[in-house]
Each structure stands twice: as C-alpha cells, then as structure tokens.
Chains A and B, each alone.
Chain A
Amino acid sequence: MPLNLSAYKNITSNLFVRIDFSYTNTVLRISDRTATTTIDGESYIAAGNFLGLTNTVSELSNPGSEITITLAGIPNTAITDILNARIKGSKVRIYRAFFDSITDELINTSGNPSGRFTGIVTHYAVNEEYQVNERTASNTITLICSTIVDVLANTTKGRRTNPADMKRLYASDTSMDRVPNLVGQEYDFGKKS
C-alpha cells in the first residue's frame, strides 16, 4: 500500500530490525532511534548509531539482493552469547517507520511503518576493536541477510533416486536400495538358460 506523507512537513525516519533466533526461541528487536520505541505492540531497543544498515535496491523483478546489518559496540562479555545463538538461518525483518520530528510520535497513517526487507541471516562476521590504552575491546557484528526470494532460489530440497536421499526422509524405506547396484547391470532378456 502506498504511503502518503504529503500532509506532514516535519518528518524523520528510523529503521527497526527484528531478528528471530528460532534456535533459542528469542527475538532481538533493535532500532536506530535514541529511545525505546513500541511498534505493533513490540518494544524495540534503541541502538542509535550502533546499528547500521546498508541500502537496498527496489526492483520490479526479482531483486535478489542482500542487506548487511552492522551491530557495533558489543562488549566481549556478550560475544559468547551471540555466537551461541546460532545466528545463521535466523529470520530478519526490517521496517522503516516515519515519525513527526516535532512530537517524536509515530505518524498515524496507513502503511506506516512499512516493510523494507524480509529475509534470513545467511552469513555473519565478528570484528574485534581492541583499545590498547583503555585495555578494553568491543566488537562489531556484521549480519549478511538474503531476501526470501534469494533463499527460495538457493533452496536445495527434493529427493533423488538413491538410497541415501530416500532414507533421509523415510529411514525404513528400501525402495531405492538397489539403484547403485543397477548401474551398468545387463540382462539377457529372452535367452533361455
């Protein structure tokens, strides 16, 4: 649905990132705002400038694009938790919401906030920034996310005609067991023995 903001003169926009760590059944909600904000009944932690997002390209055809989320300033103590969260495969949703810059209230109009990106985390990287003088270190986590369209295109599902694929789905089914042995097998059809 198109978003009509023509009636508003003072507008700011912010990004809201929702990462669903399905493995640990936890959801991380962060935004680049400076105060905690509630969107659709869910509270998004303010990460301010510690949250960065790359631009995405809007295309009519299959965009096949990736987006990178950067989470900076993460203390060493939190790194283990993050790595244990099995980030890969987590579902990511990114919204853009428009606020009245004077009242700092979410503009109440149809289509706000609007969905910007839906996908999953396909890769991630952790970069350490060590402060020698302060004897401290902080980390930056980069999450590389692919759109659902990309995920679908790269999904390798299906069953091949071999025993391994059959047993992966149905352990006791022996229907494909003879396939490897049949390769090159010859039969003297019609030759009376």
Chain B
Amino acid sequence: MSWFDTLLDVGAKAFTWFTGGGIAAQLARTVVTGVALNQVNKAISKEQKKDTQKQQDQGVRLKVDPDPTAKIPVVYGRAALAGIVTDAQITNNNMTMWYCITLCEVTGNLALGQGAASQINLLRVYRDNQKLIFGSDAVTVVKTVDHSGVENTDINGLVKVYYFRNGSSSGPSSIPAYSLIPGWTANHAMTNLAFALVRVDYNREKNVTGLGTLRFVLENTMSQPGDCLYDYMTNTRYGAGIPAQEIYAQ
C-alpha cells in the first residue's frame, strides 16, 4: 500500500466518523458549523458597514466666520501668519471647497523707497502643525511631514495652495486668481495684497474633511530696519503717511 492509499484510507475513516451518529461527531459538526456561520456573518457585516458608510456620509458642516473688522497685517522680514478667510465657495457637488485667505499688505520699495519693489515670498505652509510638501507644480500638496519627520501621503492631491504675492495676477502660473476660484471676476483684484487660494477636495477615508488650521511662513525682502521704518512712516495705505520730503533719510 502506498502512502497515498494510506492517506485516502485515513480521510475516508475520518469522514465516516464525522458523518456518523456518535456524540463526539455531532459536537464536532456543531463547532464547525458555528465557526463557518461566524465567518460568513463577519464578512456580511463588513460589506454592510461599507455600504452604510457610503450611503450615510452626510459630509461635515463647515462654518466660515470671517471678521470684517480684522486688520490686514504688514510683514517685514519673516513672519508666520494664519491669514484671514475673506471668501469661500463650495463646488463640485459639495465635494470641493475653495478658500481665499488674505495674508498681508504689499510693502513699498527697498533702499528707503528708491530701490526695487519689495517682494513677499511664501517659504512654508503648515496644516494642523504638519508641514505641507508640494509637488512639482508648487501648488498640489503631495504629503505632510510632522515634527518628528514622519511622512504621510494621505493628503496627496486633495489640497492645493495657490499663493499670490501681489494681487490676483501674481500667482504661481499665468492663471489669475479669478480664473481659479468660482464666482470671481477681474474686479476681484486683491489690490496690493498677498493672499492664498486653497482648494480642498473632500475625502473622509483620507481624513481630509476641511481646511484645517493653516499657518503660512512669509518672508519679505524688506527686512533692513531703516527700510522698514521709512516704509511704515511714509506709506499712506497702512503707515503714518508722512510726506517723504519731511523725512531726513540717508
């Protein structure tokens, strides 16, 4: 008798025992049936849970609360700002939110008003204390990094940050801000303002369900104390508006 014949013989005996009328065989059959039923129930429950989630996802209720009395800040040197939400639009069947976040005033010229225009650059953006890492388009967030250096790609493609350093036509590409955010026209010029448009695409599974707490780190090329003081003293928009000829500057 070969080992295969022996194996068949053992299997046949076990089956005969399992289907027999003995108490032990009946108990064994009950246990096996119970385990099988449990597995089936679990599988059905998982599927039902998924379906229920899909059907019952009512989204999240976001409240936008801009402050009409908030003063737009002036940034010299480097500063981290949360910004002020000044517009919000929902599109794409409630799946996309657009925010306009006003950051700061555009400042005057360098070298005591005689040099090149100052420039406010965006260095970094944080969302819920996680640093945002942008893709090659400098707009789409591809991942986040926490303070320990741990990366998370859940956010990939779901958040886009368009930074405009001076008005609506100063963005990362030639596309003006009013061509991005719904409801805007060419009159939405954001004159002499540095601001950001943020697009958020809803995804509950990836835990992207809102704007989060943003922090923008900006750096103004105007950072010399004399330049800053002169700019603030002479500027008629946000400063003291003292005529330049009344200031002895050297």
Contact = CB atoms under 8 A, between A and B. Distances in A.
Interface in B185-217: 185, 187-193, 200, 202, 204, 209-210
Contacts of A162: 68-69
A13 to B, nearest CB: 25
B61 A187 contact: yes
A191 B86 contact: no
A152 B238 contact: no
Most buried by B among A188, A190, A193: A190
A169 B191 CA distance: 9
Contact of A184 (B65, B84, B204): B65
B250 interface: no
A183 B58 contact: no
A9 interface: no
B239 interface: yes
Nearest to B70: A161
B72 interface: yes
B194 to A, nearest CB: 12
Contacts of B84: 161
Contact of B65 (A151, A158, A183): A183
A151 B100 CA distance: 34
Contacts, number: 143
Interface string B31-73: 0000000000000000000000000011111111111111110
A80 interface: no
Contact of A158 (B72, B90, B97, B183): B72
B189 A190 contact: no
Contacts of A185: 63-64, 88
A111 interface: no
B94 interface: yes
Given A161-B68, A175-B190, A183-B66, A191 B58 contact: yes
Interface string A142-183: 000000100110010111111000100110111110111011
Contacts of B94: 187-193
A148 to B, nearest CB: 8
A160 B63 contact: no
A24 B125 CA distance: 52
A192 B57 CA distance: 8
A166 B105 CA distance: 12
B155 to A, nearest CB: 15
A161 B237 CA distance: 14
A189 B210 contact: yes
Nearest to B177: A175
Contacts of B27: none
A81 interface: no
A134 interface: no
A184 B191 contact: no
Given A160-B70, A192-B93, 8 more contacts: A158-B237, A161-B68, A178-B86, A183-B65, A184-B63, A185-B63, A189-B62, A190-B59
20 contacts: A152-B240, A158-B72, A162-B68, A172-B189, A173-B189, A175-B190, A179-B66, A179-B86, A182-B65, A182-B86, A185-B64, A187-B63, A188-B61, A189-B60, A189-B61, A189-B95, A189-B97, A190-B59, A191-B57, A191-B94
Interface of A: 148, 151-152, 155, 157-162, 166, 169-170, 172-176, 178-180, 182-193
Interface of B: 57-72, 74, 84-88, 90, 93-95, 97, 100, 102, 105, 168, 183, 185, 187-193, 200, 202, 204, 209-210, 233, 235-242
